[in-house]
Chain A
Amino acid sequence: MMMKQLDILLVEDNESDAELVMHALKKNKINNNIIHVLDGAEALDYVFAKGNYAANTDRVHTLKVILLDIKMPKVGGLEVLSKLKADNRTKTIPIVMLTSSSEDQDVEKSYMLGANSYIVKPVDYGDFTDAIEQLEKYWLLRNRTIIT
């Protein structure tokens, strides 16, 4: 029997950043399926199965958590956040803001828009992997969502 895949959507425009996150996620050997999209527009397309992802219906129901960068070209993280939290189909998906910015106003805006968590990526990779590990264990294993 195949273990059920736990989908993580990583929205990150920077390939290197994404690679670091994925490295850290894989290190913990939790059976997950990481989908990486490069900007906010693509993230919305993916979640709502539009554009390039029109064929993938019902992706929404397998997403266990979305890791969302704030500063991205075209559609920024805060806009993606507000659109997902405003839509009944997606508002219950946990969204973790994963960013390098520790600006208070970003933190505040994110929570106002309904973010479930806000993580400032530590510069030190050891701390970074610790943070990702905690995040992964919490949101993928500990936290209960309404995914059936």
Chain B
Amino acid sequence: MESVIKIVHLEDTESDAELVQHTLRKSELMVELLVVEDKPSFINALKEFNPDIILSDHSLPSFNSHEALELYRELHMTVPFILITATITDEFASRIMKEGACDYILKDRMERLPNAIVSALEKYRAEREREKFMNEVIANESLMREAESLAKFGSWQINIPDNIIMWSPQIFRILGYEPYQVQPSLDTFIKVVYPDDIDKVKTSLYDAINNYDAVKTNFRINGIDGAIKYCHLEMVTQRNAQFKPTKIVGFIQDVTRVKLAENEIKLLNESLEKKIMERTTELMEANRDLEAFNFSISHDLNNPLQVINGFASIILRKHNDKLNEDAKDLLKQIKGYTKQMGQLIHDLLNFSHLGRQLLEVNEINMYELVTEVIRNLENRYRNVNTKFIIGEIDNAICDGGLIQQVWVNLISNAIKYSSKQDMPIIEIGSKKINEDMIYYVKDNGAGFSIEHADKLFKAFNRLHTAQEFEGSGVGLAIVHRIILKHGGRIWAEASVGNGATFYFTLPNKVETKIYLNQDKPFITSK
């Protein structure tokens, strides 16, 4: 042993004390020995010297080993007590062992002392460790119980051969009993299970016994107050070599709060879904109304215009000789305005169509698209001598038909607003800035004041009078709507008299979108 062993030796005979001293010195033990001769010094030594072990002679003049042991017990000494005696009977030996002695040594067998000391110390150390361990176990167990209570979680076990069932206190509480109020049994358990769930629980137990090593299930408990508790049950079966079950251990957790919260979330989701459905239906109805309205506009507004225009034309043609110049001019104005209004209705319908239109996205050769648009526009504006400068135009992933409309509107605007220049020039191209491909149409026409730019893309907002440049004020609103539908951006740069440049971007890939009045989602690019 490495450390010094502190020994109190109770002995009044000098030769005996020396014998012990001598024996210890011969041994490999490192000891600090205190010899005491009487009761007061023995008490003092126990209290002050703090020995690791006590050696005691059996009989002293005023004091014997029984009294010494009594003192030893009174002082709650937790160190070994070894009796050293000349003779011993079996009866005496058993008595002093009962009184708390750890061992005894016969004086003529003193050579046994060192080993006896070592083994006594070892025995006591082991005992102390066991105690410490037990204390920890007890402490842990109470922690476990506390945890069980907090988690509303109880454990149980069934020893199959003897059919002994054990419940932790929390099991009693979950089942609606006070701890240990009832004798744990399958019946007392089943009695509180919600009737509809009894079969399920019994099947699970049957499975645990006969079929599976781990079984879990959920069931409900009829609470005492009528409230239903939701429980989760898990169990593990231990089996012998013959696969016969020997023990089932398991736990039951009260998951009522979780379950109620889940139910609440479910209900909220359901009501949310219902609200969405209602709103969707409303919107679909609104859309249908809008379609009916469009149809109405398309027919009912156009029709009178045709008649007015037609009759004005017939008057001009058939009764031309009877009309003076003023009347003819007025009739021509009527024709002009009806035509203008017809165009407006056409554009308006076109604009409202866009909101409901499905995007069909492909990779579009923008250069080809633009040159085709320009060819068609040049036919339409034959009297305008516009010079086109077409740069590189990158391909785009977009709805070709709709983007064609964008180009038509932007380029025809450019032609229109630059038509009064001596040398109208329109530049078209694309450039990459950061991640975005930016397409542009630049003209050297009338331009506009940028402070009105916010009105530019709104339907029926115009920055020029019809006398200056004809138009319905819907063209750029259509362009704006198409670009937004693609998830792109559009903006303009301009100043009065210095032309205008319109820019737009298209995202590389268009996100999937679902439009309310269409039953299939928007098609993504290849």
Q: Which residues does A use to contact B, with CB under 8 Å?
A: 14, 16-17, 20, 23, 70-71, 99-106, 121-126, 128-129
Contacts and interface: CB of A to CB of B under 8 A. Distances in A.
A62 to B, nearest CB: 28
B298 A125 contact: no
A105 B292 CA distance: 11
Given A17-B303, A100-B303, A123-B339, A128 B298 contact: no
Interface string B340-357: 011100100100010000
B312 A125 contact: yes
A27 to B, nearest CB: 9
A101 B295 contact: yes
A100 B356 CA distance: 22
27 contacts: A16-B310, A17-B307, A20-B307, A20-B311, A23-B314, A70-B299, A99-B299, A101-B295, A101-B302, A103-B294, A103-B298, A103-B349, A105-B291, A121-B302, A123-B306, A123-B338, A123-B343, A124-B309, A124-B335, A124-B342, A125-B309, A125-B312, A125-B313, A125-B314, A126-B313, A128-B309, A128-B310
B299 A20 contact: no
A125 B309 CA distance: 6
A125 B317 CA distance: 11
Nearest to A24: B310
A102 B296 CA distance: 11
Contact of B306 (A100, A102, A106): A100
Contact of B307 (A16, A102, A104, A129): A16
Pick the 5 closest A-B CB pairs, nearest first: A123-B342, A125-B313, A100-B302, A20-B310, A16-B307
Interface in B40-80: none
Contact of A123 (B299, B309, B311, B314): B309
B339 A102 contact: no
A104 B312 CA distance: 29
B305 interface: yes
B342 A102 contact: no
SS of B interface (majority): helix
A127 B307 CA distance: 13
Nearest to B318: A23
A124 B312 CA distance: 10
A130 B112 CA distance: 138
Contacts of A129: 313
A102 B349 contact: yes
A124 to B, nearest CB: 5
A102 B307 CA distance: 17
A128 to B, nearest CB: 6
A125 B310 contact: yes
Interface residues of B, number: 25
A103 B350 CA distance: 10
Contacts of A126: 313
Given A103-B349, A122-B306, A128-B306, 11 more contacts: A16-B311, A20-B306, A23-B310, A100-B298, A100-B302, A100-B306, A121-B302, A121-B306, A123-B306, A123-B341, A125-B312
A71 B299 contact: yes
A104 B357 CA distance: 11
Contacts of B343: 123
A105 B305 CA distance: 22
A123 to B, nearest CB: 3
Interface string B282-303: 0000000001001100110011
B290 to A, nearest CB: 12
A105 B335 CA distance: 29
A23 B316 CA distance: 13
B132 to A, nearest CB: 89
Contacts of B341: 123
A103 B342 contact: no
Nearest to A99: B299
Interface centre among B302, B306, B335 (most CB of A within 10 A): B306
Contacts of B305: 123
Contacts of B312: 125
Contacts of B294: 103
A100 B341 CA distance: 14
Contacts of B311: 16, 20
Nearest to B338: A123
A121 B338 CA distance: 13
Given A14-B303, A23-B314, A103 B346 contact: no
A99 B295 CA distance: 12
A17 B306 contact: yes
Given A123-B339, A124-B342, A126-B313, A103 B306 contact: no
Contacts of A17: 303, 306-307
A128 B342 CA distance: 13
Nearest to A71: B299
B349 to A, nearest CB: 7
A121 B303 CA distance: 9
A121 B298 CA distance: 11
A121 B302 CA distance: 9
Contacts of A71: 299
A109 to B, nearest CB: 12
A106 B311 CA distance: 27
Nearest to A125: B313
Nearest to A102: B298
A103 B314 CA distance: 28
Given A20-B310, A100-B299, A100-B306, A124 B346 contact: no
A122 B307 CA distance: 10
B295 to A, nearest CB: 5
Contacts of B307: 14, 16-17, 20
